[in-house]
Amino acid sequence: MTNKYVSFFENARDAARKTVDAATINNVLNDLALAAIAQTEYLLRENQKDLDRMDKKDPKYDRLKLTTDRIEGIASEIRNVASLESPLGHIFSDKTMPNGLQISKVRVPLGVVGVIYEARPNVTFDVFSLCFKTGNVCILKGGSDAHHSNKAIISIIHQVLTDHDINANVATLLPAEREAGDALLNAIGYVDVLIPRGSQGLIDHVRQNSKVPVIETGAGIVHTYFDEFGDVEKGAQIIVNAKTRRVSVCNALDCLVVHYSRLRDLPELVRPLGAKKVLIYADKTAFMILKGHYPVNYLAHAKPEHFGTEFLDMRMAVKIADGFEEALDHIARYSSKHSEAIISEDAGRIERFLNNVDAAAVYANASTAFTDGAQFGLGAEIGISTQKLHARGPMGLEELTSYKWVVRGDGQTRNP
């Protein structure tokens, strides 16, 4: 590890040993929400410096962009986190052994949480809020794309912490250079867990190179399956919302799978997408049905690489499945295990889908746009885990904790 980064990690580790009472934590978070809104002009000005360096056609542009409404939304989520009950100290189990030992299993912070992320300045606010609420210290490594935005945000966080006489090292923003990220990957003994948020390339790099334990937040290759028993009106509304509500986020729809018996309903299902100028990559059968019934400039033949792609813009694939089992096979082959949905009015078919599809979040007759910490009642999220160890799906307060065994005795000793 390069020596110039050691002090960052040492200071964070030292800060993790200090505890802050619950009332102060909530006061800090509520003051931070107020400060974010009060400093809206400053945040937008610094964010614009980052936006000016990025091509507007880049899928990351929308993720990078801050607006007055988005800052108000961020502040609302910070207040939500403050209002939630802290999981710290929760006792999972409490029992007294025959020898009189009282053994409890108690929820505790993870410790020092490192987060590597790309052009998403809101993550800086979200990660701090969730980590601070759960007694964790966070070390943040944002991308160079959001350098000015992240520096502005961390300066506001540090000012609020200072106002409350709290060590500002509970939230550390590393320099934007790649070397700092590599140092974080090797911060053994300083960082307890590392969470990457961003492109599949970033996630793969962290997973393959980190010597620190990693919680993988995978890319969102999201499917919605329209079943033979699906309702067309309901389906069209769900599909357009899942695809176009915000195309640059990981819960956005990437592939619509349609049961072959509902081919004649396909034009109506995707009609709202045409109005939104969504480019559809249709398989051979779907293309034949949509030709003449979908804007010609936004209809193209699907190629193999269009399936299993996270588009992050106004593009999506359409696949016609010969039956329910083929739909399940297609999803299993291309899914990133993030969010998958079925549109159907058949209760048995719905249950089979929900039970058989392997994903962090599975939906019946609802938009995958709901895969979000705030929407799940978590206040905010530090990421959406697609793995199965420790945490899965939107990661809120509980997912940022571990546990320890607390043993109370009265002089007991163990015999050979």
Other beta carbons less than 10 A from residue 260's beta carbon: 13
- Asked whether 241 and 272 are in contact (CB, 8 A), the reply is no
Handedness of CA 318, 322, 327, 331 (dihedral sign): negative
CB-based contacts of 46, cutoff 8 Å, min separation 6: 148, 149, 151, 152
Written as six digits, the tokens of 279 are: 């480019």
**SS3 state of residue 39:** coil
**SS3 state of residue 251:** coil
Displacement of CA 16 from its chain's centroid (Å)? 24
In this structure, what are the phi and psi dihedrals at residue 394, rounded to the nearest 5 degrees?
-55, 130
Written as six digits, the tokens of 270 are: 């995707």
- Asked whether 181 and 174 are in contact (CB, 8 A), the reply is yes
Domains in the chain and their CATH numbers? Answer: 3-217+395-408 (3.40.605.10), 222-370 (3.40.309.10)
**SS3 state of residue 139:** strand
CB-based contacts of 172, cutoff 8 Å, min separation 6: 8, 11, 12, 137, 138, 139, 140
Beta-ladder partners of 403: 107
| More confident position, 383 or 317 | 317
Q: Strand 137-141 and strand 112-117: pairing?
A: parallel
> E strands along 137-220, which residues?
137-141, 171-173, 193-197
pTM of the model: 0.83
- 1 band by pLDDT with thresholds 50, 70 and 90: low
pLDDT (tens digit, 9 = 90+) per residue, 112-156? 999 999 888 999 999 999 999 999 999 999 989 999 999 999 999
In percent, the amount of the chain with pLDDT more than 70 equals: 99
What is the residue whose two structure tokens read 């420790």? 390
pLDDT (tens digit, 9 = 90+) per residue, 251-276? 999 999 999 999 999 999 999 999 99
| More confident position, 143 or 331 | 331
pLDDT (tens digit, 9 = 90+) per residue, 183-207? 999 999 999 999 998 777 888 899 9
Distance between CA 364 and CA 349 in Å, rounded? 10
**SS3 state of residue 174:** coil
- Alpha helix positions (H), 105-249: 122-133, 147-163, 178-185, 200-209, 232-244
Distance between CA 266 and CA 303 in Å, rounded? 19
pLDDT number for residue 152: 98
pLDDT (tens digit, 9 = 90+) per residue, 150-196? 999 999 999 999 999 999 999 999 998 989 999 999 999 999 999 99
What is the residue whose two structure tokens read 């530090």? 382
Single-letter residue type at 397: L
Angle ∠(187,189,195) on CA atoms, nearest 5: 50
Distance between CA 294 and CA 303 in Å, rounded? 19
Written as six digits, the tokens of 30 are: 């509520």
Distance between CA 29 and CA 129 in Å, rounded? 7
Does 219 score more than 80 pLDDT?
Answer: no
CB-based contacts of 334, cutoff 8 Å, min separation 6: 221, 223, 255, 307, 308
- Asked whether 313 and 277 are in contact (CB, 8 A), the reply is no
What is the residue whose two structure tokens read 């193999």? 304
**Distance of CA 261 to CAs 87, 282, 364, Å?**
48, 17, 19
Average of per-residue pLDDT values in the chain? 94
Distance between CA 216 and CA 389 in Å, rounded? 9
**SS3 state of residue 258:** strand
Does 2 score more than 70 pLDDT?
Answer: no
pLDDT number for residue 306: 97
What is the residue whose two structure tokens read 């800052």? 71
**SS3 state of residue 201:** helix
- 386 band by pLDDT with thresholds 50, 70 and 90: confident
